């Protein structure tokens, strides 16, 4: 069997909901052994919809959430009461034999529990610890309660999202959680490389606000260079025009025109050569100054054509364009099927479920085989007996004391 990229790396995933669990999923898909550590009652993500209605007993009783499964497949499940001294002791024993600790509690929680990086690096000098929080571990806002929508608001993204007449709008997915998880995964992989060279672990502090601010494209530099504060312009792009979503006879289509050469071909495709001579649209800067006027012109032209008719015209002239796929169309997209993007997981309660898979392909190393999310504490016995040498009697006692 071919070796996976992060095979042999053990991650203690002490995270919940999305920011953090997604990072753990990325590492698990790369072949790391990720141990999902939750309080004995289960983390809140287990109770978010969609929820399968079948009720059963045992460790699978709280494993009915499609939301939880989306971010926790390919992980082992361990329940551990980190407010109990024996729970902390077990956690430290696991840190000794692990490579990474990943957490997304509020800043200060891990310190109050007695398992912050200052303590854990004494337990294992090679340990890498990554913390994801709304505003980072230090700074005036570090103790501010945060969720994804707060990060999108404070990171500047919501000020750019929506239409001028409407309110600021969050994106259709929790981008603050997602991007922070991606940066945390990148930081962990970079730190593993650094450890290989130096023998030392390190601490990674990931801020959701900073993660969002880092992907604002040219919005920051437009302000710092020109003093211009970008505002909401719907689906249009502040750097190129026409570039956005346009209504036609039977729906909406997407166009992305960048540069004068593409603009000329766009006009040719639509048969509107007069637009090229219009002084309002002569250059990209001109078109940006009249972004809503050009949108009205395009939609006036498009009202007599269907989405497919317009796509055919534009693609003949090599103009970036598309229809807008809903989730049904996305899941059944033949292109994604050919690339095997979606993975099918056989869940012990829910049955066969299709989930998003790996968005990149390696030529030499395979991704992990998709496995379902763990039941609550499903691997308690496996982890504690195999890795820490606990006996059956000790396990029974730990359950009785509320440690597991």
Catalytic residue list: 177
Strand 343-347, strand 351-355: pairing: antiparallel
Do 27 and 114 contact (CB within 8 A), yes or no?
A: no
In sequence order, the β-bridge partners of residue 207 are 133
In sequence order, the β-bridge partners of residue 37 are 78
Cβ-count burial 24-45 (b if 16+ within 10 Å, e if not): bbbbbbbbbbbbbbbbbebbeb
> What dihedral do alpha carbons 188, 193, 196, 200 form, nearest 10°?
-50
Cβ-count burial 48-60 (b if 16+ within 10 Å, e if not): eeeeeeeeeeebb
Distance CA 254, CA 233 (A): 15
Q: 320 Cβ partners below 8 Å, 6+ apart?
A: 255, 256, 257, 258, 262
Strand order in the sheet with 321-323: 243-248, 251-256, 321-323
The DSSP 8-state label assigned to residue 186 in this structure reads H
| C-alpha radius of gyration, the chain, whole number | 25
In sequence order, the β-bridge partners of residue 213 are none
Alpha-carbon distances of 201 from 10, 98, 197, 198, rounded to whole Å: 14, 11, 11, 8
Distance CA 351, CA 355 (A): 12
Other Cβ atoms within 10 Å of 260 Cβ, number:
13
């Amino acid at each position: 069997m071919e070796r996976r990229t992060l095979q042999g790396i053990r991650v203690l995933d002490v995270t919940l909901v999305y920011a953090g669990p997604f990072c753990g999923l990325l590492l698990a898909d790369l072949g790391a052994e990720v141990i999902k550590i939750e309080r004995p009652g289960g983390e809140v993500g287990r109770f978010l919809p969609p929820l399968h209605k079948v009720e059963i007993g045992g460790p699978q009783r709280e494993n009915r959430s499609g939301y939880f499964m989306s971010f926790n497949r390919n992980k082992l499940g361990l329940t551990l009461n980190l407010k109990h001294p024996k729970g902390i002791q077990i956690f430290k024993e696991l840190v000794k034999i692990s490579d990474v600790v990943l957490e997304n509690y509020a800043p200060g929680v891990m310190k109050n529990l007695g398992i912050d990086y200052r303590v854990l690096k004494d337990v294992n000098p090679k340990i890498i610890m990554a913390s994801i929080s709304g505003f980072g571990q230090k700074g005036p806002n570090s103790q501010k309660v945060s969720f994804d929508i707060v990060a999108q608001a404070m990171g500047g993204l919501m000020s750019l999202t929506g239409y001028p007449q409407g309110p600021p709008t969050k994106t259709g997915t929790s981008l603050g959680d997602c991007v922070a998880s991606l940066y945390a995964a990148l930081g962990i992989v970079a730190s593993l490389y650094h450890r290989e060279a130096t023998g030392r672990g390190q601490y990674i502090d990931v801020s959701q606000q900073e993660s969002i601010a880092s992907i604002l494209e040219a919005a920051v530099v437009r302000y710092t260079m020109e003093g211009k504060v970008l505002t909401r312009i719907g689906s249009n792009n502040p750097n190129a025009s026409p570039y956005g979503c346009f209504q036609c006879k039977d729906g909406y289509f997407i166009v992305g025109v960048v540069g004068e050469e593409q603009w000329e071909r766009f006009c040719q495709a639509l048969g509107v050569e007069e637009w090229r001579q219009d002084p309002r649209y002569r250059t990209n800067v001109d078109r940006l100054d009249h972004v809503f006027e050009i949108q009205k012109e395009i939609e006036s032209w498009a009202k007599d054509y269907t989405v497919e008719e317009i796509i055919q015209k534009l693609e003949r002239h090599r103009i970036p364009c598309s229809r807008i796929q809903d989730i049904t169309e996305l899941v059944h997209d033949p292109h994604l099927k050919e690339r095997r993007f979606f993975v099918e997981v056989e869940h012990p309660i829910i049955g066969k479920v299709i989930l998003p898979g790996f968005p990149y392909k390696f030529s030499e190393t395979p991704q992990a085989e998709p496995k379902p999310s763990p039941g609550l504490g499903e691997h308690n016995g496996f982890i504690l007996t195999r890795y820490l040498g606990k006996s059956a009697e000790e396990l029974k006692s730990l359950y009785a004391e509320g440690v597991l």
